[in-house]
Amino acid sequence: MAPLLAGCKEPTAVAAPATAEPEVGTITVRPQARAIVRELPGRISPTRVADVRARVSGIVVERLFQQGTEVKAGDPLYRIDPKPFEVELQASQASLDKANAALDLAQAHARRIATLTSQRAAPEAENEKAIGAQRQAEAEVATRKADLARARLNLDYATIRAPISGVVGAALVSEGALVVQNETTSLATIQQLDPIYADFTQSVSEMNKLRRAFDSGDLDRIQPDAAKVRLVLDDGKVYPVAGKLLFSEAKVDAHTGQVTLRGQFANPHRELLPGMYVRVLIEQGIDTDSIAVPQQAIQRDAGGGSEVFVVKDDGRIAAQPVRTGAVQDGLWLISDGLKDGDRVVVDGFQKFVPGDKVKAKSWVDADAGAGTPSAAKSAQAAR
153 backbone dihedrals φ, ψ, rounded to 5°: -65, -45
* pTM to 2 decimal places: 0.63
pLDDT at 225: 54
CA 292 vs. chain centroid, Å, equals: 29
Inter-residue contact 148 to 96 (CB < 8 Å) = yes
The CATH number of 36-47+191-287, from 2.100.10.30, 2.40.30.170, 1.10.10.10, 2.40.10.120, is 2.40.30.170
For 31-57, what is each residue's pLDDT tens digit? 887 777 777 888 999 999 999 999 999
Q: What is the pLDDT of residue 152?
A: 94
CA distance 264 to 42: 12
Bridge-based pairing state of the strands 343-347 and 331-336: unpaired
* Alpha-helical runs (H) found in 171-330: 204-216
CATH 2.40.50.100 domain extents, the chain: 54-81+158-185
First to last CA, the chain: 76
User: How far is 238 from 183, CA to CA, in rounded Å?
Assistant: 43
- Asked if residues 329 and 36 have their Cβ atoms less than 8 Å apart, the reply is no
DSSP for 310-349, written as a single string: EE-TTSBEEEEE-EEEEEETTEEEEEES--TT-EEEEE-G
Which residues belong to CATH 2.40.30.170 in the chain? 36-47+191-287
* Residue 367, CA atoms < 13 Å, CB-side half-sphere: 15
CA nearest neighbour of 72 among 194, 179, 197, 187 = 194
Amino acid at 362: S
- Contact 75/161 with Cβ under 8 angstroms? yes
Q: Return the CATH fold of 54-81+158-185.
A: OB fold (Dihydrolipoamide Acetyltransferase, E2P) (2.40.50)
pLDDT at residue 337, as a whole number:
81
146: three-class secondary structure by DSSP: helix
pLDDT of 161 reads: 93
Q: Which CATH class is domain 82-157?
A: mainly alpha
Which pLDDT value is given to residue 284?
66
Residue 235 main-chain phi, psi, to 5 deg? -90, 10
Helical segments of 77-234, H only: 83-118, 124-157, 204-216
How much is the pLDDT for 270? Answer: 87
The hierarchical CATH code for the domain 23-33+290-368 is 2.40.420.20
Sheet holding 178-179, edge to edge: 159-161, 76-80, 58-63, 178-179
Mean pLDDT by 10 residues, the chain (383 residues): 45 50 85 77 91 92 91 93 94 93 91 85 84 91 94 94 92 90 86 90 70 58 63 86 75 74 87 89 72 85 84 86 78 82 86 84 56 36 33
